[in-house]
Structure formats: structure tokens, C-alpha cells
Structure 1
């Protein structure tokens, strides 16, 4: 008599992959959020750190932009803590905040181009890590 497995039964390999990608996304979100937090502090404390481009389409006051980066960085760090506990709300919020931070970093490319592009790539990996895992593969 052969034993059959039901499609609802999770394999250890699938659970390990799901938890591994979630931890990867949590770590990347925490690191990128920390970088945004520091960049926000730099913009608030000293505007001279950033390059100014007078003929760019998107012009922002760097101090207010620093507060936006600081707030989004703190939110990203808080969401990453929720991801370590594999909370469903944190996966949804992680994709949302990473998307907002990609837009924010795109708008700040003229002021700090290298870090903006680096953080856009990091947040892209976060979205990938959170979206590639099926919902039924994650416990919690």
C-alpha cells in the first residue's frame, strides 16, 4: 500500500526556503532602512553633504526631504522587526514600504546618486524576497 501526501502538507525544504527568504528580506529591509535613517539625519543636520543640481525636474528642500527619508527609514526598520516573527501584516507592509522607498530614492537621485541607486536595488531585493514566497509556505 502506497502512502500519498496531500497537497496541503508542507515539506521541510519548502518551509526552510520560505523562512530563509523572509529572513533575507527582513535583514535587507533593516539594513536599507538604517541607511535611509542615516541619510535623513545627514540631510537634516547638514545640507552641504548632498550635491545640488539646479536644472533637475524634481526640486525639494533637503531638510524636509531628510525628515521624509528619516521617517520612512524608521518605518522600514520597524517592519523588518515584524518580518523576523513571520507576521503576515509585516510581509504586506514590507512590500508597501519598500515600494515607497524605491520612489523616494528615485526622487533623491540628483542629490545623492550612488546611494540612491544602491538603495533602490536593495529595496528591489526586499520586494522580491517577500513576494516570491507563497502565503501557505510561511507559518504565522
Structure 2
């Protein structure tokens, strides 16, 4: 019996280490996404000519409006990533919600900067995975 108890504790420790590792991974990814979103927003606000112009796009906004949306989401993402670094539970929930919002924002702005939008969508999918894959008993 001592052997099974030892192996169970060993598995629990590995799970906790994996949970911590995935949370740190998600925090780093969210920090990168937030920083990239911040600079994307800043580019859209300051210099509109780096973006494509797509006529008759269904979700067309002024590029400056998109810039402010991405800039603000980026700032909030960086703040939430710091919460994830110190393992705050509110940051885990807010991180998932924020990653979803950033994904939607990037999807809607694909015509303005396609490659960057698709890259950030993929990165946010990794953030969501890293924050959701942890089992409830390891939180």
C-alpha cells in the first residue's frame, strides 16, 4: 500500500507542476498577445497606411476605431497576464474571456491585416487551451 500511496503523491505532484507550467505558458502567451495587440492598435491609431483597405466589408469600422479596440484589449491582456503569473483565480477566468474577445476582434479585422490577425487568433487559442486544460482539483 505504501507503494500506491507514493505513486499517487508522485502523480499529484506532476499534475500540479503541469498545471503551474500551463498557467505560466498561458500567461506568457497572453502577455505576447496583449503586447502585439497594443502595438497593432497604436499603429492603426497613428499611421493608417500600413493596413489594407477592403471595400464593402461587412464589419467595417473606421480604422482608428479598430485601433482603439485592439489597444485597449492589449492593455487589459497584459494586466491579466500579470495576474496569471501570480496565480490569481480571477485572472484565469478573465484570461479565457479576454482571449475569446481578442479572437473575435481579430477575426472581424482580418481584412485590415490578415496575417497578423490569423497569427493572433492561433495564439489566443493556445491561451484558452492553457487555461482550460487544468483540472479543477489542481487549481
The Cα of 1:19 is off from its aligned counterpart by 0.3
The Cα of 1:65 is off from its aligned counterpart by 1.1
Distance in 2 of aligned mates of 1:29 and 1:78: 9
TM (normalized to structure 1)? 0.92
Q: Per the alignment, in what secondary structure is the counterpart of residue 95 of structure 1?
A: helix
The Cα of 1:91 is off from its aligned counterpart by 0.2
TM (normalized to structure 2)? 0.92
Q: Per the alignment, in what secondary structure is the counterpart of residue 64 of structure 2?
A: helix
The Cα of 1:120 is off from its aligned counterpart by 0.2
What residue ranges of structure 1 are gaps of 5+ in the alignment? Answer: none
Q: Residue in 2 aligned with 1:12?
A: 13
Q: Per the alignment, in what secondary structure is the counterpart of residue 11 of structure 1?
A: helix
What residue ranges of structure 2 are gaps of 5+ in the alignment? Answer: none
Q: Residue in 1 aligned with 2:62?
A: 61
**Equivalence map 1:103-118=2 (5 Å):** 103-118=104-119
Q: Per the alignment, in what secondary structure is the counterpart of residue 134 of structure 2?
A: coil
Q: Which has the higher helix share?
A: 2
Output one character per residue of 1:8-62: Cα deviation in whole Å (capped at 9) or x when no partner: 9672111110000000000000001100000000000011110000022111101
CA RMSD in angstroms comes to 1.4
Output one character per residue of 1:74-105: Cα deviation in whole Å (capped at 9) or x when no partner: 00000000000111100000000000000000
